[in-house]
Structure 1
Amino acid sequence: MEDILNPPRVRIRRRGADKHPLILKAARELVAQSGFREAQMTVIADAAGIAIGTLYRYFPSKTELMVEVVKSTAQREVDVVAGIAMRDGSACEKLGAAAWTFASRALRGRRLAHALVAEPVEPEVEAVRLTYHRALSRVFKTIIEQGVENHEFPTQNAAASADCIVGCLFEGLVAPLSNGAADASTSLSSHAASIITFCLRGVAGRMLTFPPMPAG
């Protein structure tokens, strides 16, 4: 008869250290080096220093892992730009600083940025990228609304203007981001500045200049 007061002890299998951050770091670094296509699961496992079976226990498919890479990386970029939107200062200053910070960070990490913007991907990954686009657009929308309220910008559809800024930044940077040359930082910065000047002129309805802002 089973002893109710002293039931048999259940052996608890203790898990080792969580490998999730390690896997994401290794995957993100590989995507930054060579894009989504070349970031294969076996290579990621080797880079993370884990067995391939361990990797598949955390992420049953490459698509699931790439979705997480895009989510974590995109959220970091959105947080940086949103931090600028929260600063004190005029809407003109913040709009220029936010756009310049996004562009300069993208140009510094061109391969990863190209993967986040334009590389052909599975539908699940593309859906996350579209969420990233919308999140950035909401940040710019907030700044534009402030500018309209403070009479810095003319009355306009802030959501549409914000979408146009994101579209200009993404589409205008696709070609430079896909260029593997690493010795053209000056011309790329000038190209990014031209895109941002165009965006500011469209929102403000007049020519605005902005000082190059340090990337966040």
Structure 2
Amino acid sequence: MAYRETEKMRQRKAEARRRIVECTYECVAEGGFRSARITRIAGLAGVATGTIYRHFESREDLFAEIFRTATQKEVDKVAEALDTPGDATTRLENALRQFAERALRGPMMAWSLIAEPVDPKLEEERLVYRRAYAEHFERAIREGIAEGCIPDHDARQSSTCLVGAIAESLVGPLSPTLASQNSLTETDKNRLVDSIVRFCVQGLTGSRR
């Protein structure tokens, strides 16, 4: 008789997978991908290390799922900020501010997503999501051009520049090494966010806001 997996067993497997993903996410948020050891994840999830490899082919596959989950949350927040009232420039300001403020509130996870040296598989995921951010920005820039609040120019190139500018400007403040040496106060963080938003908006519109 062919083996048939029962509903109870499917639920048990799904629950184990959920715990593995949640515990891996917590480990990355605490110390980045490099500190997320399979043995520690297994211990936190209450499973054997072999169980992890029954759900994920490799450590890189597990990390790729965490990367996709975490980054999609941030992309969705940017999309929400771009869907608020106001002209395109105002909405872009909201989105840029959302991006930077959320990164500074969760610096280790943000560092892991933006700049931590990672395996090629995760680097590919990073490029996919940088493009996702750029597509949202591009749409808003095109709307701004149509509204007349943003000068006519290459919206696709500008959107890519926005993603690069905001990510690069956060690398230093988010870096675990530099952050431990130069702890930012809330005032410092607010100034940093304001500076990033101002720079990006001025680059898009050519005027001060």
**TM-score for the superposition, normalised by structure 2:** 0.91
Q: How does 1:64-213 map to 2 (within 5 A)?
A: 64-178=61-175, 179-180=179-180, 184-208=185-209
Q: Could you say what secondary structure the match of 2:133 adopts? A: helix
Contact 1:33–1:111 at 8 Å: present in 2 too?
A: yes
Listed as ranges, the gaps of 5+ residues in structure 1 are: 1-8, 209-216
Q: Distance in 2 between matches of 1:142 and 1:84?
A: 13
Moved more, 181-190 or 76-85: 181-190
Q: Could you say what secondary structure the match of 2:130 adopts? A: helix
Moved more, 185-194 or 93-102: 185-194
- Structure 2 residue 29 is the aligned partner of structure 1 residue 28: no
Structure number with greater Rg is 1
Counterpart of 2:5 in structure 1: which amino acid?
A: R
Contact 1:138–1:162 at 8 Å: present in 2 too?
A: yes
Q: Could you say what secondary structure the match of 1:37 adopts? A: coil
Q: Distance in 2 between matches of 1:115 and 1:145?
A: 31
Counterpart of 1:126 in structure 2: which amino acid?
A: E
Q: Per the alignment, do residues 176 and 137 of structure 1 end up closer, same or farther by CA in structure 2, a change over 3 Å counting? A: same
Q: What's 1:12 paired with?
A: 4
Match of 1:44 among 33, 41, 44: 41
* Deviation of the 1:183 alpha carbon: 5.3
- Give aligned-pair identity as a percent: 37
1:171-199 deviation line (CA, Å, top 9, x unaligned):
00000001146652321221121011000
Moved more, 28-37 or 185-194: 185-194
Q: Distance in 2 between matches of 1:177 and 1:156?
A: 32
Counterpart of 1:47 in structure 2: which amino acid?
A: L
Structure 1 vs Structure 2 CA RMSD: 1.5
1:66-97 deviation line (CA, Å, top 9, x unaligned):
11111111111101111122233211110000
Q: Distance in 2 between matches of 1:190 and 1:153?
A: 24
* Deviation of the 1:28 alpha carbon: 1.1
* Deviation of the 1:61 alpha carbon: 1.3
Aligned residues: 200
Q: Distance in 2 between matches of 1:48 and 1:189?
A: 37
Counterpart of 1:191 in structure 2: which amino acid?
A: L
Contact 1:114–1:177 at 8 Å: present in 2 too?
A: yes
1 or 2 for the larger relative contact order (CA 8 Å, sep ≥6)? 1
Counterpart of 1:81 in structure 2: which amino acid?
A: V
Moved more, 91-100 or 17-26: 17-26
Q: Could you say what secondary structure the match of 1:12 adopts? A: coil
Q: Distance in 2 between matches of 1:189 and 1:167?
A: 20
Contact 1:133–1:166 at 8 Å: present in 2 too?
A: yes
* Deviation of the 1:13 alpha carbon: 3.1
* Deviation of the 1:21 alpha carbon: 2.4
Q: Distance in 2 between matches of 1:187 and 1:145?
A: 33
Contact 1:173–1:192 at 8 Å: present in 2 too?
A: no
